[in-house]
Amino acid sequence: MTDDEHIDTEYHLREALRHLDEAQAGDLRKTHSVALEEVSTTVSTVLRERSADE
């Protein structure tokens, strides 16, 4: 991957986390909340691992 692709990937992952956080703040059923939390955790892990690799 090029540097530009890394920057785009990180940007989109951070945007996804932001949207998930906003959705969690809304009125969701518990099952949706749990699913969103799992996705958020996964994306956060990817970002941490990517930062550690740099």
Q: What is the spatial distance between Cα 53 and Cα 32, in angstroms, rounded to a whole number?
A: 32
Q: How confident is the model at residue 29, as a pLDDT?
A: 58
Residue 39 forms part of a structural domain? yes
Residue 3 forms part of a structural domain? no
Residue 31 forms part of a structural domain? yes
10-residue stretch averages of pLDDT, the chain, 54 residues long: 73 82 68 77 85 78
Q: How confident is the model at residue 28, as a pLDDT?
A: 59
Residue 14 forms part of a structural domain? no
Residue 12 forms part of a structural domain? no
Q: Hey, how many other C-beta atoms are within 10 angstroms of the C-beta on 20?
A: 19
Give the position of tokens 């799992």.
Answer: 38
Q: How confident is the model at residue 37, as a pLDDT?
A: 81
Q: How confident is the model at residue 1, as a pLDDT?
A: 56
pTM metric for this prediction: 0.53
How many structural domains comprise the chain? 1
Q: Residue 38's domain spans which residues?
A: 27-54
